[in-house]
Every structure is written in structure tokens, then in C-alpha cells.
Chain A
């Protein structure tokens, strides 16, 4: 009867040991970081050849702040971030030219994809070595994602496509790696890499289905400053 509780007890004991060890060194910090936002997968694809055509997202910029509360091995983190990805207008126009066999002159106007996210989750980290710590975080939360306005006009065919700006709140998940180098007891510099996923739904008043999903996938590569309290 007791046998089946043995692994559970062992895990509890080891966790207790770890947290006890951490009690002496829990830290709180704010990480402020900025860098480039790189779309990937179908979100970045620049073809209309398939039924699930690409979404023509190009790299953009991002700005984020992480609240960290961490010990030697474990921690908790919360993140607030803004990211944008530009729209690959030239590639988009070129696909229309290919499909229309160059009939007429096509002009594309489009804004940018934007997202504002708030996530929270767990941190697993290495003990400090050479003033350096590596943190792995898995977070989930919500994001407000904005789809840009898109208009495609062709001198021969007329208005081919019109999508108005729309926004949607959707769950977002994030995986993050933070490499932190401690310069002083309070200040450190960091290299941050995170990967973000969401699937918002937007309306398209002139489209056949009146709406669509966008598989938003982007990675941020940032540098930042960590301030410990």
C-alpha cells in the first residue's frame, strides 16, 4: 500500500530540499528588453499556392518587460510585451501578379501586425556560474493581436481584396530562454530569446467566410537590463 506513495514522497522531499536551499537566495528583479521579432512557419510564408496560403509577415521590433522572482533552481515569472511584424507587401503583390498572369497593375496597401501580451509561468534555471545564470521559462496568458488593414487593387480587375483592421484577444503561450550576466549585485545584462504562439480570429466583411484565423508565430531575440531589488 505504501509502495505507491514512495515516489511522491521522494519528489516532495527533494523539492523541499531545493526550496530550502533557495530560501537563502531568493531574488526579485525586473528585466527590460528590446530587439527584433521574427515571424516563422505559415505566418511568415510568402506564397498563395496552397489552400492555407501564407500570411506574409516580415520581421519587426519588440519591447518587453519581465518580472522575475527566482531562487537557485526555480522561480516564477510574468511578462508584458509588445511586438510587431511588418507586412511583406512586395511579396504579396508579386503573388497576385503571378496568379493574374500579370494582367493589370496591382497595388497593395497594408499596415503591420501587432500584439500586446501578458503572460505568467514557471522558471527553471541553472545555479549561477561565472556571474551567469540561464533561465528557462514556460508561460501562458492572453494577447491582444491586431490584424492590419489590407487593400489590393488591380487596374484590370478592380478591388481584389479588402480587409479592415481588426483585433482579437486570444490565449498566447510563450517559451523563453534568458541568459543573464551579473555585472553588479543589482544590475545585470541579458540576452533573451522567446517563442510565441496564438491563433486569433479576425473579421473580413468582404470575404466569403466573413472571418479567418491567423496562426501567429514569432520569435523575439532581445537584449536587456536586469535590475534586482
Chain B
């Protein structure tokens, strides 16, 4: 038996060696196509919009959280979560995102019979290393907060709760309104502008306190988070606001994306971007016909990819354009390399 074992083993090794065929890659990195693609794995026949995500390991895996009225058959919006994996085939350039719904305690804690919209995580880089596990230095970051918008009191207000990612996305503490920013008017779609003022936290949100929806900045007290600040300075950002509705600001690094139904667009709500240069925002620019349609494009977010693995970042937004699965659907589309 031993005499034939070695030749058999040799044959098996040779067969394995011969069958190993690593293809030649035609792309050094992956890229996300610029044409919007329906995010079919997460969409339903109901309205699905208002997303944000927590990115994990090398930007390939993320937990997408968004609002949908599928659970109430169209009656009200709740926040739901999907775990997603991006796949970029470096031989033929194909890009896809696979997703599966997950239950998270955080989502269960914030949902109510009212509408929950505009989720926003202040923390988006729980770096996972296969050799060393989670980077605990990041996980110990005290600024892991989850903001969202709800009309539980009759008008839209911003709420928040702290959370942890140790064994799932878990709420820590109670859900509370962001009282220093909320008014009797509508406030929503909170986004953080990181790194602008190390001492004071800068956040942006949308509000109709002046009539139509405009984009505002709130600056917290020195050495305090915005939710710990009582005396908050709120300022309308004129260059980003128009006579029409300007909503859903979302900032990644020095780029803000938002939606507006201002004149000069392609119809309905269109997506715009502005860049922070020096100490101010640039004039908003329409994303153009590649992204915008005569229908509504809504609540864009920027997904920052690992630049060693991808040529470009991408954007997730919602639209009620024809060809979707029903109502508003989520779409993803690549951004130009190096931003717009």
C-alpha cells in the first residue's frame, strides 16, 4: 500500500499543479462603472432610499443602512440594514455588489411607528485585519454615534444614539433628540464635516426653518461633541442654498453631495456637488446627465474605496426613474478618479 501511495500522491500533486491557472489580470485595480446601476440586491417594490454605511476591511465589505417602507407595506419608513460585499473582476472589469439583509439591534432601537429617515454613522472605518482581528484602537473611538431623522413629534427632527460594533452594531445608551439644532420646523439629514476645526465639531443638515429647505451648518462648543454642546452656532450656507429645496447634504473629506430641485437641472430633484476649498464651499455643480434624469435623484452618499484596490470612489443614491423595482430604488455609480 505504501508503495503506491507515493506515486498516487505525486500524480495528485501534478494534477493540482497542472490545474492551477492564475489568469492574467487586465486591470491593476478595480473600477466602479460611471453609469448608475440598480442596487438590485437591496431594493424592493416599495420605496428604498436614504442610505449610509459602515465600511469594513479594505472597503470590500460594508453594512448598508437605509430607509424603506417595505415592512409596513408602504405606510411608514423604517431603517433596515444589509451586509454587502463588493466584487471587482480584474480580468473583465465587472463590478458588482452582493447583499443580504441583517438584523441589527441598533436599527431595532431607533425604529418607531413614525418615519425614520436619513441614517448617518459618524464612524466608518472599523478596520478588520485577518491576522490581527479588529483594530481596537479605532473601536475604542468614543465618537461612534448614529444620527437619523424622525417625524415622531409631528415634524422632522434629528436624533442620535451611541453605538458599538463589538459583536454587531449595538446601541449604547438611549435615543435622544439633537436639541441644540432641532426647532419647530423640519431638520434632518445630519452629516459631519471632519477635520475642519479640531476644537469644535462642524455638522451640516437641512432645514426649512427659513421657508424652503436649505443647507445649514452647526458648530459645537469648543472641545465638545455637537450632541454635548448646548450653545450651538447655526448658520445657513448661502452658496449651497437656493430658492428651491436643497436637501440631504453628505460630506466625505472635502466633497459635499446633496440633492436640489433648483432651476437649471434635468427635472425633479437632481444631485449636486461642492468642494471645500480653503474655508468655504465652492459653487454647487450638477452631476450631469450621466447621473441625473428628469425623475428625482435623492440622498446621495459617497463611498470611499481603498485606493490600492480601486481606481475610483462611488456614490449610492436613490431615484424613482423608470426601470427600477418600484418606487424609489437605490443605485450606485462610480465617481471620476480623483473626485469630480
Taking beta carbons and an 8 Å cutoff, which residues of A are in contact with B?
48-53, 55, 95-96, 99-101, 103, 152, 156-163, 199, 201-202, 204, 206-209, 211-215
Contact = CB atoms under 8 A, between A and B. Distances in A.
B31 to A, nearest CB: 7
Nearest to B17: A199
Interface in B309-324: 309, 311-312
Interface stretch (B20-28, B144-152, B193-201): B20-28
B25 to A, nearest CB: 5
B28 A49 contact: no
24 contacts: A48-B91, A48-B92, A48-B93, A50-B92, A51-B23, A52-B23, A53-B92, A55-B24, A101-B33, A101-B34, A103-B34, A152-B26, A156-B336, A157-B31, A157-B311, A158-B337, A160-B27, A204-B25, A208-B25, A208-B90, A211-B22, A212-B23, A212-B24, A215-B21
B12 interface: no
A204 B26 contact: no
A51 B35 contact: no
Interface in B250-269: none
Contacts of B22: 201, 209, 211-213
Given A48-B26, A53-B23, A159-B28, 20 more contacts: A49-B92, A51-B23, A51-B92, A53-B24, A157-B31, A157-B312, A160-B26, A160-B311, A199-B21, A202-B24, A207-B25, A207-B28, A207-B90, A208-B28, A208-B90, A209-B22, A211-B22, A212-B25, A213-B24, A215-B21
Interface residues of B, number: 24
B91 A53 contact: yes
B4 interface: no
Interface of B: 18, 20-28, 31, 33-35, 89-93, 309, 311-312, 336-337
A157 B337 CA distance: 6
A96 B26 CA distance: 9
B28 A53 contact: no
Given A157-B337, A158-B311, A199-B18, A206 B28 contact: yes
A113 B125 CA distance: 44
Main secondary structure on A side of the interface with B: loop
Contacts of B27: 160-161
A101 B26 contact: no
A158 B22 CA distance: 25
A52 B89 contact: no
Contacts of B309: 208
B24 A163 contact: yes
B89 to A, nearest CB: 7
Nearest to B30: A208
Nearest to B93: A99
Contacts of B18: 199
Contacts of A199: 18, 21
Contacts of B311: 157-158, 160
B26 A161 contact: yes
Contacts of A101: 33-35
B253 to A, nearest CB: 19
Contacts of A208: 25, 28, 90, 309
A103 B311 CA distance: 14
B20 A213 contact: yes
A214 B24 contact: yes
* Among all A-B residue pairs, the 5 with the closest Cβ atoms: A99-B93, A212-B24, A53-B91, A206-B28, A207-B25
A101 B21 CA distance: 29
A198 to B, nearest CB: 12
Contacts of A99: 92-93
A129 B46 CA distance: 82
A95 B33 CA distance: 15
A51 B93 CA distance: 10
A212 B26 CA distance: 11
Contacts of A95: 26
Nearest to B312: A157
